[in-house]
Amino acid sequence: MYLGIDIGTSSVKAILMDERGAVVERASSPLSVSRPYPLWSEQDPTDWWAAANNAVSDLDLQRRQAVKAIGLSGQMHGATLLGSDNRALRPAILWNDGRSNGQCAALEASIPDLGQITGNRAMPGFTAPKLQWVRENEPVIFEQVKSVLLPKDYVRLHMTGDLASDMSDSAGTLWMDVGNRDWSDVMLAATGLNRVHMPKLFEGNEFTGELRAEVAEAWGMGRVPVAAGGGDNAAGAVGVGVVRPGDAFLSLGTSGVLFLANGSYSPIPAAGVHSFCHALPSRWHQMSVILSAASCVDWAANLCGMVDATAMFAAIEARGAPASTEMFLPYLSGERTPHNDPNAKGVLFGLSHESDAATIGQSVLEGVAFALRDGMDALTNRGAYVDSITVIGGGAKSHYWGKTLASVLGRPLVYRDGGEVGPAYGAARLGQLAHTGAAIEEICTAPAILHVEVPDHRLVDLYAERMPKFRSLYQNLKASF
């Protein structure tokens, strides 16, 4: 068996995969997010470790005893500040936190070639501007910082005692020279840090250490090795075989991501596109990212008094028609690609007396799809080629939404076995790669196709007409956000 653990935003997921690549068991443990002030988004790092223990403990003990290696994946960008005793100095500042917009502008002004070094614009979601915010607003805490870890690497510290990270996750800090796959002394110095504060870097399919004795005993397994793993999207790509140049997937989780694998470093930061290291050696990837995707459906369900998102999807599918006048801007946590606007707000527009929960839900599905089309165009308008797209994440459970997405994006959407646990599955595959030394092409195959959603040409024309209205709505309201 190989164990994959994904430190998500809403839960920690753990899966057991056998040596043939089949997922034989899965478990999860929920997490909550704290938003004490506008634009803030935080979690207590100790909650990640508690949830990881809960998720692993829920897996069958006999199967756990057969685990040969572990891989990790996790939400990217979270700033976990540790003191000299390796305890967190404050709550972790998450990927969808928008407080550091001013620090981003200052970093870009002070380092003109920031985009070429890091492959990205300075955005509030990244880790470096968060540390600059702490430096300026919580100087007592900043002076105590011994090291900065990403969420999955904080869990690794508890598992193995090692301060280590992988290339793909670390590429999202804004402290890396992404083309050279190393820390950037220039970027670290810009936020008052140096290499001493950073974990050691590994490729995703390399081991970083082994389970501490007490953890191994608690988890009912040997002191097995732990692979570096990857950021959630890079690990998800490994899970669905998106590892060759031109392969693409769409992740419908809390956020929405269009991920394109590359064979070389190809930054286009001006478009708000991310360029990161892949979780595998000598490979990179580009991403367009929207900050709210499936989380918008959860929000709408709560707003409309639905029991949960499943009930909302049921109401939308029973209605079974496009929105009429309703339109939704899905910027509940600000936005990245292409706007890079942490102050962008969610908007329900065009409501009437006929607007009920199902029509509002339909407009939410369409609004997320429109935002993802903005992101895809940011890639394709600059030469990227996107053909069919594999779908992963919790939102992949709804084929109805898939029809809307395929029609807005104008591309077939491919649903594969295990797509809803992509990052955890990719983490397990990285553990298997590290343990066996097998070729990447042998392990990182595309899982079996379960379903394909093709664009509905009637909807393609309808949504093409509505897309300019969606874009103009944001531009016209931008000054009021």
Q: Which residues are catalytic?
A: 232
Rounded to an integer, what distance in angstroms lies between the CA atom of residue 445 and that of residue 432? Answer: 13
Rounded to an integer, what distance in angstroms lies between the CA atom of residue 195 and that of residue 152? Answer: 19
Per-state percent for the chain, helix, strand, coil, to nearest 5:
40, 20, 35
DSSP assignment of 172-200 equals GGT-EETTTTEE-HHHHHHTT--GGGSPE
R_g over Cα of the chain: 21
- Residue 202: helix, strand or coil by DSSP? strand
In the chain, the largest separation of any two C-alpha atoms, in whole Å, equals: 63
β-bridge partners, 328 = 348
Q: 476: how many CB neighbours lie within 10 A of its CB?
A: 9
DSSP assignment of 104-160 equals HHHHHHH-TTHHHHHSS---TTSHHHHHHHHHHH-HHHHHT--EEE-HHHHHHHHHH
Q: In sequence order, which ranges of 208-308 are alpha helices (DSSP H)?
A: 213-219, 232-239, 294-303
Rounded to an integer, what distance in angstroms lies between the CA atom of residue 475 and that of residue 481? Answer: 11
